[in-house]
């Protein structure tokens, strides 16, 4: 695993590409599932199963990136192909033990950089009406709200945003996460059981 040149933001982090099935991604899926269920009810967990894993692979125009600190994931996010020129951001996550460090901004910047390197010219995303932190993040990082910001978010539903990207100067390959036989929390992990696909 190699470390990319570090842009402004939290130092000493590695940015790696990972597959949804990589054990390093498990904390992201688990904590997002808990977050969705807590804010929107038990059915909201199905959001993680809406898209097949393949949507977040380079072969299908997607990516899943993790920020690693001392080899453990502290933040991450993904994008999928929305249309020929647009990447859709999904699964933006910061570990519950590492919040208020600017990691979400770093994730969004890395996803934008990777999307631009893939030739995308626009980013689109939606966030839930009960996630004011996410809404604030996207407003603070230059996204244009495609909804009435003065309206009660609960009357709108998912809140859409967009941002136009500058063309990438030169594509750079992201390192893949190193093969891992143990999770940060425990012993060797075999293939995860797949009750439903997790995007």
Q: What end-to-end distance do the CA atoms of the chain give, in Å? A: 23
DSSP class per residue in 13-73 = -EEEE--TTSGGGHHHHHHHHHHHHHHH-GGGGGGGGSS-GGGGSGGGT-EEEEEEETTEE
Tell me the C-alpha distance between 111 and 191, whole Å. Answer: 27
Tell me the C-alpha distance between 33 and 37, whole Å. Answer: 6
Tell me the C-alpha distance between 43 and 21, whole Å. Answer: 22
Q: Is the CB of residue 4 less than 8 Å from the CB of residue 15?
A: yes
pLDDT in tens, the chain (199 residues): 323 344 444 558 999 999 999 999 999 999 999 998 999 988 777 788 889 999 999 999 999 999 999 999 999 999 999 999 999 999 999 999 999 899 999 999 999 999 999 999 999 999 999 999 999 999 999 999 999 999 999 999 999 999 999 987 555 566 666 655 444 444 333 333 333 444 4
Residue 174 confidence (pLDDT): 62
DSSP-derived secondary structure letter, 82:
E
Residue 43 confidence (pLDDT): 79
């Amino acid at each position: 695993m190699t470390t990319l040149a570090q842009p402004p933001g939290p130092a000493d982090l590695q940015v790696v590409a990972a597959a949804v099935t990589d054990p390093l991604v498990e904390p992201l899926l688990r904590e997002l599932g808990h977050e969705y269920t807590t804010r929107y009810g038990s059915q909201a967990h199905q959001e993680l199963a809406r898209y097949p894993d393949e949507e977040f692979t380079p072969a299908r125009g997607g990516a899943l990136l993790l920020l690693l600190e001392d080899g453990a994931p502290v933040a991450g996010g993904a994008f999928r192909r929305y249309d020929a020129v647009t990447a859709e951001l999904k699964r933006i996550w910061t570990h519950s033990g590492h919040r208020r460090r600017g990691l979400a901004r770093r994730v969004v910047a890395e996803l934008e950089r990777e999307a631009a390197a893939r030739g995308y010219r626009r980013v689109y995303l939606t966030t839930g009406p009960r996630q004011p932190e996410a809404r604030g993040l996207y407003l603070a990082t230059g996204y244009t709200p495609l909804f009435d910001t003065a309206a009660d978010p609960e009357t709108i539903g998912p809140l859409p945003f967009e941002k136009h990207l500058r063309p990438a100067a030169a594509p750079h390959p992201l390192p893949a996460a190193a093969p891992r036989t143990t999770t940060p929390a425990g012993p060797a992990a075999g293939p995860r059981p797949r009750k439903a696909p997790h995007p």
